[in-house]
Structure 1
Amino acid sequence: MDYPPDRDSWFAPLSLDLILKVLNVTFFHPFIAWIIPLSFRAQTMHWDAPPMLVSIAWAACLTLAWIAGVVNHRLAYGLPRHVDLSDEVIVITGGASGLGLLIAEVYGMRGASVAVLDVRDMENGEARGVTFYKCDVGDKDQVARVAAQIERDLGPPTILINNAAIVNGKPLLDLDLAAIDRAISTNLLGAFYTLKAFLPSITSAPDGGTIVTMSSVLGHLGAAHLTDYCAAKAALTALHKSLEAELRISHPRVRAVLVEPGQLSTPLFHGVRSPNAFLAPVVEPVDVCRAVVAAIDAGRGAHVATPFYARCAPWYNVLPAGLQVVARRLAGVDFAMRSFRGRLPVGENGERTE
């Protein structure tokens, strides 16, 4: 961490997401729901008794909803591809710290070949199974050079995780043009550069490959003091969806995973306090890592959005404009960056500067 923590915890112990998780494995789980009528029957209750009929109807509804979810996912993302980690070469941009480092360490320890691209040195030095390449993904020449080096060292990449991002955290009027250029280059153009460099090897892999795009719920909502960041994340989501549509036709073996989390407890947004810890808890990187790893391991496409409000964010734009303003004020989304401290900037050679 670049700064010592200034509070006891990054998350509230009780949140809406915690309640929903408990309900999803109990009251809303089809298997658990079917136990209720079976328990009634074990007590010799007649099939036409009201409690029996209600419990059967509830279990049937949950089962149909579960089946509909499976069918929906299959139609949206197709059949899963075969994944053998010993044959996978994983490229992670911005993998020297935070969520990217966590994913890199998970796959490095499990036997995959992992290449991390970052302008910063890795926080924990060397990691097992992980090869570090100093690279500014906003520089297309550096990306092309490193791409060729990775193919020589590790082999053709099969999985690309576009995770690199920077945050300025200033009002637009306080941003100089160089800072805007740097943010757009890293947060958006870097994804184009890495896709152009690694997509040919991913599409030509015998078992296909996986592309993971780390976007943000702010791409749907926007937020004060984050004009450059939100613009890039909105464009990243559009890039991902457009590319996924192209690949579905031209290279159906390639899977795409779109990640749109809420605020993560990483140094990128250090100091930012959630306006409402119950409705909008800060997300632990391990939770997002678990979902991304599960999708990659299963060889399937996915849309990862957490916490619960992040999954509801697309519906925000359906609200009338007046209600959107009210919702923003109640949520406090435009005041969260007032406590932003971020992490120390990086110099031209990757060193941290004051």
Structure 2
Amino acid sequence: MSEKIKEVHANLPRTFDRTDEPWYHYLTIDIIWKVLGYTLFHPWTSWILVLCLRAQLTPYEALEMKISMAWALAMSTIGVFNIISERVAYGRAREVDLSEEVIVITGGVEGLGGLLAETYGMRSANVAVLDTKEISNEEGEEKGILYYKCDVSDAKQVEAVAAEIVEDLGVPTILINNAGIVHSKSILDSTAEDVENVFRTNTLSHFNTLRTFLPHMLREGRGTIVTVSSVLGSLGAANLSSYAASKAALLALHHSLRAELAQHQDGKEIKTILVTPGQMSTRMFADVKTPSNFLAPIVAPVDVAKDILRLVEQGESGEVAVPLYSQYIGILGVLPVGVQTLVRRWSGVDTAIVKAGLVQNEKSE
């Protein structure tokens, strides 16, 4: 008799649970911008247009030839400038071989962290997940992941688990700080314990993991540190004060970390990645509605994960900000205050939690 086939249960994205949307629901400014980036705004494509005109024997003095050459030259100049700018900011990429790396992911049971952990697990990488949720050894073996029950807000627990990871897998070289919780309460309704709990999990945990794992990376002379913040760290939002403030602190922490690594003699080969996504389709903000699916689409965790995976495996530093508006959210701060007020009012950022009925509720990711 043939051996019974093992059943693997898949957790499908939330979009599979919804009714089919009209085609224009999936048309967003992010898709348009991406297409333009590979066509009109791409240096190679711009020069192909010039070559096509020459193939038609268009003279150099013709207006269309002058315009196409000027455009191609401008796109090439911008492209070269961006390459030089990133090299100045981040330096050369480091060599990454997943078989020789040990990846530590906090909050890696569900959501974005869970997706990253399972992706690396399927690729037979050395993955250690730190989470307060317990996962059986059998499930861990199926996924190719070692799960450690650990409250990353407790420095002693992190240190104890780090010793186990070094013994089980080796010296950690990639740290993805992803753990996070939210208390959707107003400032007046929040207790001291609520605020402290959010900051301990969302912010202080990063200090705990950095103090524990960064020395290993410095001794190895290589490493990658991923800091998962949020676009709300730059915006703030009503009824999300503790969450937004804890994520804002991570922005400053990331820049401070980069500055200290630049001054450390063994920190040149340690790369840093800042992740500031917009609203993701995870359980944390599952019922929150976006004001415009075209301008501010809800991001699937896979869209964030693939950019993180790309930077980590290319050995590069950088920033992951999706959807498109999250890349330019800093511009809002330089606009006149009246315009800022109108944008916030239109976006619904300060009323979204109330409309979703999430005030006073607590969810974790």
Is TM (by shorter chain) over 0.5? yes
**C-alpha distance in 1 between matches for 2:161 and 2:223:** 19
1:62 to 55, 75, 84: 75
Q: Identify the residue that residue 221 of structure 1 maps to in structure 2.
A: 235
1:351 matched residue in structure 2: none
Residue 286 of structure 1 corresponds to which residue in structure 2?
Answer: 302
Structure 1 contact 269–340 (Cα < 8 Å) conserved: no
Give the distance between the partners of 1:187 and 1:27, measured in 2 at CA.
41
- Report the Cα offset of residue 150 of structure 1: 0.8
- Residue aligning to 1:132: 147
8 Å Cα contact 2:105-2:130 kept in structure 1: yes
Of 287, 303, 307, the residue aligned with 1:271 is 287
Q: CA deviation at 1:170?
A: 1.5
- CA RMSD, 1 decimal: 2.3
The CA distance in 1 between the partners of 2:229 and 2:20, in whole Å, is 25
1:257–1:301 Cα contact (<8 Å) kept: yes
Look up the equivalent residue of 1:174 and give its one-letter code.
D
Equivalent of 1:73 in 86, 92, 110 = 86
- Structure 2: state its 5+ residue gaps: 1-10
Q: 1:200 and 1:247, CA in 2 relative to 1: closer, same or farther beyond 3 A?
A: same
1:116 aligns with 2:129: yes
1:262 is matched with which residue: 278, 285, 300?
Answer: 278
Structure 1: segments with no counterpart, 5+ residues: 347-354
2:211 pairs with 1:184? no
How high is the TM-score relative to the length of structure 2? Answer: 0.89
Q: CA offset at residue 341 of structure 1?
A: 4.5
- Distance in 2, Cα, partners of 1:220 & 1:267: 22
1:322-333 superposed matches below 5 A: 322-333=338-349
SS in 2 for 1:172: coil
Q: Distance in 2 between matches of 1:201 and 1:186?
A: 23
**Alpha-carbon distance, 1:54 to partner:** 0.7
Corresponding letter in the other structure for 1:23 = L
Specify the code of the residue in structure 2 equivalent to 1:307: P
Give the Cα–Cα distance (whole angstroms) in 2 for the partners of residues 17 and 121 of structure 1: 37
Over 3 Å counting, the alpha-carbon distance change for 1:157 and 1:345 in structure 2 is same
Shift of 1:122: 5.1
Count how many residue pairs are aligned between Structure 1 and Structure 2.
Answer: 344
Aligned residues of 2:284 and 2:363 also touching (Cα < 8 A): no
Alignment partner of 2:182: what SS?
A: coil
SS at structure 1 position matched to 2:293: coil
Distance across 2 between alignment mates of 1:225 and 1:266: 19
Cα contact 2:181–2:363 (8 A) shared by 1: no
Q: Structure 1 residue 176: deviation in Å? A: 2.1
Q: Separation in 1 of the partners of 2:305 and 2:263?
A: 29
CA apart distance, 1:335: 1.2
Q: Which residue of 2 aligns with 1:19?
A: 32
| Partner residue in 1 for 2:314 | 298
TM-score normalized with structure 1 length: 0.92
Counterpart of 1:316, as a letter, is L
2:351 is the alignment partner of 1:335 = yes
Q: Of the candidates 203, 220, 237, which is equivalent to residue 218 of structure 2?
A: 203
Cα drift, residue 115 of structure 1: 0.4
Q: Which residue of 1 aligns with 2:186?
A: 171
Following superposition, the deviation at residue 285 of structure 1 comes to: 0.8
1:317, distance to aligned residue in structure 2 (A): 1.3
